[in-house]
Structure 1
């Protein structure tokens, strides 16, 4: 059975979001957000959390509504990551749970833990455009994606994506795409790496490098979440639906804290991200400058299930 909670559902704003925010405050020691500064005690007051939840409405992940908004994202990917015609990066991550009661193997993943999956679309600046969380950990990225409203609208052709256009230096029109890994099926608007091994400086190897660099933004976003919101770095001691609300609240807070330059520089300062030049393994630098390998956090990569 497939249960997910989408960020587009209204009940996430209001009474059900408030306990989730409180859970983050209590379990994640959210004062670490300010990297050394004391987080105001008044945030722990329920009334203050209610006011905060109202402010979070403006940080709700939103898909572009028209071609012009999609084109702005594509321009950002081309300028920042040197990858034209890209509209976002898709990926999924496991959020570890305490063993759910009477769930059998539904939430049991390939790492022998229980989890729900966060499936996300991220823009060129590490902001969430879409998130769906709650699918059982045994299901692959591709399976999770197939059940999302994002996938259904993409396949139905109702996302209002930009019309095909010519790449720089070319003569034929090509579609705008989302970048993903091998867990996702190829589609007119979903692009992934060439399989196999390719010679240095070959066109396919260069393409794979460029696509990996563009796809990195979703890894960055997951890395920030797992480093800052420590409730995600250990099993969440809640039932599946409530755990999903906590994860989604972290996504809201992520977008909210990245809205202004001041909060963004505190939440994820410039230079927070590092990359091993040879292995291309991505890291997030936390408040003590200790590099956290993203694959070693509780937000671990789902494995394809056949």
Structure 2
């Protein structure tokens, strides 16, 4: 029986795959590991990364005080007040699923899923959702993610509006996104 591949080699191959989106055959030549073997361990390494780093890396605010701390970081770093997070999405390429039709086919001409994410003022991920089909719009993806539902149903405990510095009119706490997101009280 052969020796198993070292954990560091599996991690390096996985990170290279995630960063470059190279194919398994391409990685095979870079890391001298058979493509079929790479295909077996990449998902396992990704799951291990999630298990180990999830709580440290992804911490979505759940209380009014945590949302206010996120807003304070936007205030101090960007001089932009009452903002609790910046949202956007990214198309993640994938192979066409059997019988999927055009559900995962996006406007850029390839099959994908949509990664919806929210970051804080320091670009740290606070929330990630990767369930939307590639053909979904930014606004549609936001409307169907669990964070949006929690905010709209008042389960997220986003604080009540407060005045901006040197003002007396209350302004709602809100998210920022690009022009693909509909303008709302909770989204600018």
TM-score norm. by structure 2 comes to: 0.73
For structure 2, the residue ranges without an aligned partner over 5 or more in a row are 1-8, 20-37
Distance across 2 between alignment mates of 1:61 and 1:174: 27
Aligned counterpart, 2:33:
none
The verdict on how the C-alpha distance between 1:178 and 1:54 changes in structure 2, with shifts beyond 3 A counting, is closer
Aligned counterpart, 1:29:
16
Residues 109-128 of structure 1 aligned to structure 2 (within 5 Å): 109-128=106-125
**1:109 aligned counterpart, secondary structure:** coil
Greater length-normalized contact order (CA 8 Å, ≥ 6 residues apart): 1
Largest Rg, 1 or 2: 2
Does residue 87 (structure 1) correspond to residue 84 (structure 2)? The answer is: yes
Of 129, 132, 135, the residue aligned with 2:132 is: 135
Distance across 2 between alignment mates of 1:162 and 1:60: 23
**2:135 aligned counterpart, secondary structure:** coil
Distance across 1 between alignment mates of 2:97 and 2:138: 21
What is the deviation of 1:84? 0.8
Of 63, 66, 69, the residue aligned with 1:69 is: 66
Distance across 2 between alignment mates of 1:65 and 1:150: 10
What is the deviation of 1:183? 1.7
Distance across 2 between alignment mates of 1:96 and 1:52: 20
Aligned counterpart, 2:186:
189
Give deviations 1:29-83, integer Å, cap 9, x for gaps.
37x9xxxxxxxxxxx9x8xx68766532432522212111111111110111111
**1:92 aligned counterpart, secondary structure:** strand
Distance across 2 between alignment mates of 1:111 and 1:23: 31
Distance across 1 between alignment mates of 2:108 and 2:10: 26
Distance across 2 between alignment mates of 1:154 and 1:71: 15
TM-score norm. by structure 1 comes to: 0.46
Distance across 2 between alignment mates of 1:164 and 1:178: 13
Distance across 1 between alignment mates of 2:73 and 2:60: 15
Distance across 1 between alignment mates of 2:73 and 2:176: 14
**2:74 aligned counterpart, secondary structure:** helix
**2:136 aligned counterpart, secondary structure:** coil
Distance across 2 between alignment mates of 1:51 and 1:28: 13
The verdict on how the C-alpha distance between 1:96 and 1:106 changes in structure 2, with shifts beyond 3 A counting, is same
What is the deviation of 1:168? 1.7
For structure 1, the residue ranges without an aligned partner over 5 or more in a row are 1-21, 33-43, 192-306
Distance across 1 between alignment mates of 2:113 and 2:48: 29
What is the deviation of 1:101? 2.3
**1:190 aligned counterpart, secondary structure:** coil
Does residue 173 (structure 1) correspond to residue 160 (structure 2)? The answer is: no
